[in-house]
Structure 1
Amino acid sequence: MGEVLALACDLIARPSVTPDDAGCQGLIAARLQAAGFSIEHLRFGEVDNLWATHGSGGPVLALLGHTDVVPPGPVDAWGSDPFVPEIRDGLLYGRGAADMKGSVAAFVVALERFVAAHPDHPGTVALLLTSDEEGDAIDGVRKVAEAFRERGQRIDWCVTGEPSSKETLGDLLRVGRRGTLSATLTVHGIQGHVAYPDKARNPIHLAMPALAALTARRWDDGYDSFPPTSLQVSNLHAGTGANNVIPGELQVLFNLRYNPHWRAEQLESECEAVLRAHGLDYAIRWHRGGEPFHTPEGPLREAARAVLTAFAGGAVPEESTGGGTSDARFIAPLGAQCIEVGPVNASIHKVDEHVRVADLERLPALYLALMEQLLPA
């Protein structure tokens, strides 16, 4: 068994359901310290974060990942125990195999190879890991970025190992992500009997025109490689369970995925203007999950494009800002250029999550090639 596969299996065997790291970062820290890295453990609340560095000064190239995983769901639905890694038909199965313990293992191996081959490399190479990417993302990279900002820690380039590929390793390069903004809206009415609507105020009826206006609005026409901003209602809840009672309150959950045309506070203001225009008696709680970011043409994109094209036998990767969010949204505001390169994402968060063993074994060389392009000896 090769070293990246062995490390990936060791990490998968640790049931690090968010925010529990289950010893993954300790294992990685010991390996990197033995390779000459300086190790810093940054624990905030119940979340473990690891910052491992080699070299000094700039430019600073950081590899970003997470050791936590989502819950496996019903274990008996899996073909094998989700926390007992198993190889079948050229695929490595286990929770986190693709998202993203495979990439984390490849990061570690690539970093070990890089500093062994280039002990006096220019600048700094670093690994940043958290155990709070799949959870609330409060005490993970968000909090680390705040600490970095306070102490003046620079990051010039950031490579996130999220499973970004579509069909084959390296066929897609993420060069940005949309922002995410969530709302919990409570619309107040007056409870009453359905036979006497004049004595009640139905919050469902009152809210429907406002929600229709928000969901029908075309917020923008997109931005560069970003799709148009989208508002989606994800949950509606009201009522006592009886069909003859007008509810006194309606709760609505909705989310906006937005491009760099907007900032969170602008969208909040626009949405609340619609609610007020419809005369709603409401309360709203906002959660800003992260602003959008976009990496323009420059050394990082050029290096990634060249490396991925070589790995794909000459096929130029698609460059995209699609998908959900990643922890790079907290690193980009530090002034870093950020990209995401990782394995195929077809099975992430699913039963029988897996990664191709052949892809996993190629990943360290891919990350190593990126490092050598950006920090040439």
Structure 2
Amino acid sequence: MDELADLTEKLVAIPSHEDETAAGDAIEEWLRTETDARVERDDAGSVLAYKGETNDYDADTLAFVGHHDVVPPADRQTTGEGNAGGYVVERRDGRIYGRGTADMKGAVAACMLAFRDAEPPAGRELAFASFTGEEVGGTGARHAIDNGFAPERAVVAEGSTDYSTPGVTDVVVAHKGRRASTLVASGTAAHASEPEDGENAIYRASDAIDVVRELDAPESTVFGETVSGSLAVTMVHGGETWNVIPERCEVTIDERTVPGDRADIGRAADAVDGVEWEVDQDLPPMACGDDAFADAVLAAAREVHDQLGLDAPEHVIKPHATDAGWLAEAGTDCLVCGASEPGEAHTDTESVGVDVLERCYRIYRGLAERTF
């Protein structure tokens, strides 16, 4: 399917790690040229499109969702600095190489073509969204949601690595979130030769860490599968010089949250005097609450795999957060299904298989035309 590979190369060649405008322009122009959908560009730079009998927000809407920002490229992946130069794109041996091929402009291209080609059943609105700012906390998705983007169901075509079995496009029914937080211990400075005159913030932080170590990591069950989160202290910063009792110590905590459960980190602040808890980032987890939708996506994926003579996909759990978390939090039933291959996303040799993109296109189009 040369059109899919060509469109992927076109999008990948456009720098979008510092400024997503040009990539959004290309997506918007293609949609306006190739479809009769209603196309919008919001204030955050995200591109939204709708087609169907009703062509409005009130229909039973299925959305294909992606993002066109990427992480910064390696030197070998760009022809210049910042957005001044293009990205290097190469196609060889059935693969397309370049920053954003896997995560996730290839899947965005597959979504665009499926959105154009699909003929949804009566009463269904088909939507497409390519967000900005996914790699920096979902700023584009959050802006769109705040301004009315509210599909009933969405397939997030995320291409981040290692959630599918090699050679298979699995369907993610849940993923973990990430909460980054800091315990800030305050004390009183004094000369280290007279420690009793001060209050050692590092000691207070150590007591708080002991509390964190005893906390249970979050855990839940989705589609009969156990989703286990994690909790870990990852950095400790305190003190300014060797002979002064420290008056401040910060403890950084990485928590992988799960649908419906979080660790009680606040207990550490409650238990130790002089310790406060601050949340720095909170990317929500996702769990699909619509069994029929989850089964329909898996059935569509299995049909395509069977036609191609491939092993059958399964419902799986993804360890990383995506924009699906923000959509799920807002009430959209989400699944994640994209061009996930081992060891590709965010690497300086990032690539995607053309056959994998074609597989995704067929799954997306088949799902859009399916009754469920």
TM-score normalised per structure 2: 0.86
* Whole-Å separation in 2 of the counterparts to 1:176 and 1:192: 50
Secondary structure in 1 aligned to 2:143?
helix
- The match for 2:83 is none
Q: Which one of the candidate residues 267, 273, 293 is aligned to 1:273?
A: 267
Write the distance in 2 (CA, Å) between the matches of 1:221 and 1:137.
24
Amino acid at match of 2:266: E
Distance in 1, matches of 2:312 and 2:165, equals 14
SS across alignment from 1:307: helix
- Structure 1 227/101 Cα, relative in aligned 2: closer, same or farther at 3 Å? same
Q: CA deviation at 1:166?
A: 3.5
Specify the alignment match of 2:244 in structure 1: 245
List alignment gaps of at least 5 residues for structure 2. Answer: 81-85
Corresponding position of 1:168: 167
Cα separation, partners in 2 of 1:223 and 1:362, compared to 1, 3 Å? closer
Any idea what the Cα deviations from partners look like across 1:273-297, whole Å, max 9, x if unmatched? 3222122x13332245243331145
Matched, 1:291 2:292: no
| C-alpha contact 1:169 1:342 (8 A) present in aligned 2 | no
Indicate if the aligned counterparts of 2:27 and 2:47 stay in contact, CA closer than 8 A.
no
- How far off is 1:119 after superposition? 8.0
Match of 1:335, SS state, is coil
Contact 1:162–1:342 (CA under 8 A) maintained in structure 2: yes
> CA shift at 1:165, angstroms?
2.5
Shift of 1:355: 0.7
Counting only pairs closer than 5 Å after superposition, residues 130-145 of structure 1 correspond to structure 2 as 130-138=131-139, 140-145=140-145
Partner of 2:347 in structure 1?
350
Residue 97 of structure 1 is matched in structure 2 by: 101
What is the CA-CA distance between 1:106 and the residue it aligns to? 0.6
Structure 1 residue 125: Cα displacement:
0.5
Alpha-carbon distance change, 365 to 219 in structure 1, aligned in 2, over 3 angstroms = closer
Matches within 5 A, 1:43-62: 43=43, 47-55=44-52, 56=54, 58-62=59-63
**Mean CA deviation greater in 56-65 or 308-317:** 308-317
Residue 190 of structure 1 is matched in structure 2 by 188
What secondary structure, in the 3-state scheme, does the structure 1 residue paired with 2:220 have? coil
- Which residue in 1 is equivalent to 2:129? 128
Q: CA deviation at 1:199?
A: 2.6
What is the aligned length? 353
**Residue 226 of structure 1, CA deviation:** 4.1
Deviation at 1:9, TM superposition (A): 0.8
Residue in 1 that maps onto 2:298: 305
Shift, 1:11, TM fit: 0.8
Which is further off, 26-35 or 59-68?
Answer: 26-35
1:45-81 residue CA offsets vs partner (Å, 9 max, x unmatched): xx311110001253200011100000114x14x6999
Return the alpha-carbon distance in structure 2 between the equivalents of residues 300 and 66 of structure 1: 22
| Alpha-carbon separation, structure 2, partners of 1:273 and 1:113 | 53
CA contact under 8 A between 1:223 and 1:259: conserved in structure 2?
Answer: no
Change (3 A) 1:238 1:337: same
CA distance in 2, matches of 1:359, 1:221: 32
Give percent identity, aligned residues only: 27
Match of 1:199 among 194, 197, 200: 197
Q: Any conservation in 2 of the 1:187–1:250 contact (CA below 8 Å)?
A: yes
* Alpha-carbon shift at residue 120 of structure 1 (Å): 7.7
Work out the CA distance in 2 between the residues paired with 1:121 and 1:220. Answer: 42
Question: Which secondary structure state, in structure 2, belongs to the residue aligned with residue 23 of structure 1?
Answer: helix
1:222 partner SS: strand
The 1:282–1:209 alpha-carbon spacing in structure 2 relative to 1, beyond 3 Å, is: closer
CA–CA separation in structure 2 for the residues paired with 1:357 and 1:315: 18
Judged with a 3 Å threshold, the aligned counterparts in structure 2 of structure 1 residues 183 and 229 are, in CA distance, closer, same or farther, namely same
Conserved in 2, the CA contact under 8 Å of 1:311 and 1:366? Answer: yes
Q: How does 1:7-26 map onto structure 2 within 5 Å? A: 7-18=7-18, 20-26=19-25
Write the distance in 1 (CA, Å) between the matches of 2:346 and 2:185.
Answer: 33
Aligned CA distance change for structure 1 residues 340 and 220 (closer, same or farther; 3 Å): closer
In the superposition, the TM-score normalised over structure 1's length comes to: 0.85
Distance 2:98 2:141 in 1: 25
Structure 1 pair 119–324 and aligned structure 2 pair: CA distance change class (3 A): closer
* Superimposed CA distance per residue, residues 99-133 of structure 1 (whole angstroms, 9 cap, x where no aligned partner): 0000001111111211xxx3885421111111110
Q: Which amino acid aligns with 1:215?
A: R
Q: Structure 1: give runs of 5+ residues left out of the alignment.
A: none
Aligned equivalent of 2:314: 318
2: CA distance between counterparts of 1:147 and 1:320? 31
What letter is aligned with 1:199?
D
For 1:324 and 1:363, locate their aligned partners in 2 and report how far apart those are by CA, in whole Å. 20
* 1:366–1:80 Cα change, 3 Å: farther
1:364 to 350, 361, 370: 361
**Distance between the aligned counterparts of 1:333 and 1:79, measured in 2?**
36
> Would the aligned equivalents of 2:154 and 2:334 in 1 still touch at CA under 8 Å?
yes
**Match of 1:223, SS?**
strand
